[in-house]
Amino acid sequence: MGFSRRDFVKASVLGAVAAGVGSQAKEDPRTSQAHPAASDSRAPQAYSAASDSCAPQANSPKLPIIVCANNGFAYLESAFAFLKSGGDTLDAALQVVKGPEDDPEDDSVGLGGLPNEEGIVELDACCMHGPSRRAGSVGGVRNIKNVSLVAKAVMRHTGHVMLVGEGAERFAVAMGFPRENLLTEHSRKIWMLWKEFHSNNDWWGPGIADPSWQPPVLKPEGRPQSELWKQRVRKMQARATEIDIPAEHQMAAIRKVLFPPSGTIHCSALNGKGEISGCTTTSGLAFKLPGRCGDSPIIGAGCYTDQDIGSAGATGSGEENIKVAGAHTIVENMRHGMSPQEAGMDALKRIVRNYNGDMNKLRFMDMTYYVLRTDGAYAGVSLWQGYSTGNPHKIAVHDGRLRAEETVSLYKGWSQEFPPVPELP
Ligand code: GLY
């Protein structure tokens, strides 16, 4: 029986990765070398409650404080000054996330975000204002860069909480947001590489959550998987050259094609009066089906803020986070007495539970939670240490001292680690 498109597509785009590494655990560097957790659901976890270092007694909370995903680091200083001088908590958080939304170099958010499968950028965002207990959200918005601000406009200027698609875009234009082309040349070329590489397989078909999902196996014809993998990467390098992706950016582009990112930014801000707000914004999962909404615009998944308790937000695998209502779960966990770190870890464990701890699936997803309690205690937790060796997940924090801290991960290892790759020519 041949290896049909349908067989391959069943595994979603991630199957492209699995095809190279998933069926041969011995060749996965995470299973054979540094990170035994990747193939063994009984493997030791990085996290232990006993080392809950972000518990309030351990990190002496200070107010005001802003926490965010690390792609907001560059914008924290001015947002913190704004917050300290009496600025509203939601406006401070929005100041942070607007930075990456405006930045064409950040291909996970706003202008220059990686597009859907048709090459069109579609953005999602939501916000919650703790003091007034209000929320706003937009999903699948095209042509408008600052969707986090559109979410705030929905909150302030409508009787609704969520607008999607064309209606959300028309609302944004009515509110004075300019329409603009969000697809940069950088993102267009990565999309083109994805399009050409995946001309035979895409996001259609049952995904990783389907019970019958298996990492697909390419016929190795006697050759080791690592050799097939190298061939695959070389082929992509050749395509990348034809598409005019500069040599120094080719490996990053190939990584994005093989591991479609769902990069996002979340930010929560707490002022000296104990007022707290949060927001999350994203271009969503790269190369998604048009109309796909991830977790970021879902109140309770991508972001949740309760003035009585705290705020939480997420970056990572949106589909997984929606199923555990991650941000809401975390805030409720804190309401019932868990520390920020324990609360976040519990949400991660719910994702693990949804897959019965099956590492053949869990290693193809990742999730980071950013948690802030109203007393200033905070935590950054993630399923894996990072996407690739040397790039750990980080939470950026400003409480008078600006810093980025590595998240505490549930599992040791990296969710999107390459198997051995050939040197670039
Ligand atoms: N977490 C962003 C997304 O999945 O869309």
Residue 330 CA to residue 417 CA, distance in Å, equals 28
Residue 328 CA to residue 334 CA, distance in Å, equals 10
Nearest to 195 by CA among 107, 261, 108, 116: 116
Residue 147 CA to residue 157 CA, distance in Å, equals 15
**Rounded average pLDDT over 57-78:** 89
Query: Collapsing DSSP states into helix, strand and coil, what is residue 403?
Result: strand
Q: In this structure, what are the phi and psi dihedrals at residue 338, rounded to the nearest 5 degrees?
A: -75, 150
Point out the catalytic residue in the list 89, 264, 315, 407. 264
pLDDT band at residue 28 using 50, 70 and 90 as cut-offs: very low
What pLDDT digit, counting tens, does each position of 367-404 carry?
A: 999 999 999 999 999 999 987 767 899 999 999 999 99
Kindly state the tokens that stand for 5: 């498109």
CB 294 within 8 A of CB 124: yes
Q: Is 59 in the pocket of ligand 1 (CB under 6 A)?
A: no
Which atom of ligand 1 is the closest one to the Cα of 293?
Answer: 5
Q: In this structure, what are the phi and psi dihedrals at residue 344, rounded to the nearest 5 degrees?
A: -70, -40
What pLDDT digit, counting tens, does each position of 205-263 carry?
A: 677 888 877 665 555 566 666 677 778 888 889 989 999 999 999 998 998 888 888 88
Residue 96 CA to residue 146 CA, distance in Å, equals 12
- C-alpha dihedral, 170 to 284 to 237 to 232, nearest 10°: -130
pLDDT band at residue 192 using 50, 70 and 90 as cut-offs: very high
Which atom of ligand 1 is the closest one to the Cα of 319?
Answer: 4
- pTM confidence score: 0.85
Q: Is 374 in the pocket of ligand 1 (CB under 6 A)?
A: no
Lowest mean per-residue pLDDT among 155-169, 189-203, 213-227, 352-366 = 213-227
- Ligand 1 center to residue 228 CA distance, Å? 30
**Rounded average pLDDT over 201-205:** 67
Residue 170 CA to residue 173 CA, distance in Å, equals 5
Report the residue among 264, 280, 281, 351 best suited for mutation to probe ligand 1: largest number of ligand atoms under 8 A from its CB: 264
Nearest to 351 by CA among 335, 330, 370: 330
Question: Residue 199: how many CA atoms within 13 Å on its side-chain side?
Answer: 6
**Rounded average pLDDT over 310-328:** 98
Q: Is 296 in the pocket of ligand 1 (CB under 6 A)?
A: yes
Q: Is 281 in the pocket of ligand 1 (CB under 6 A)?
A: no
* Strand 123-129 versus strand 402-406 pairing type: unpaired
CB 374 within 8 A of CB 387: no
Q: In this structure, what are the phi and psi dihedrals at residue 291, rounded to the nearest 5 degrees?
A: 95, -10
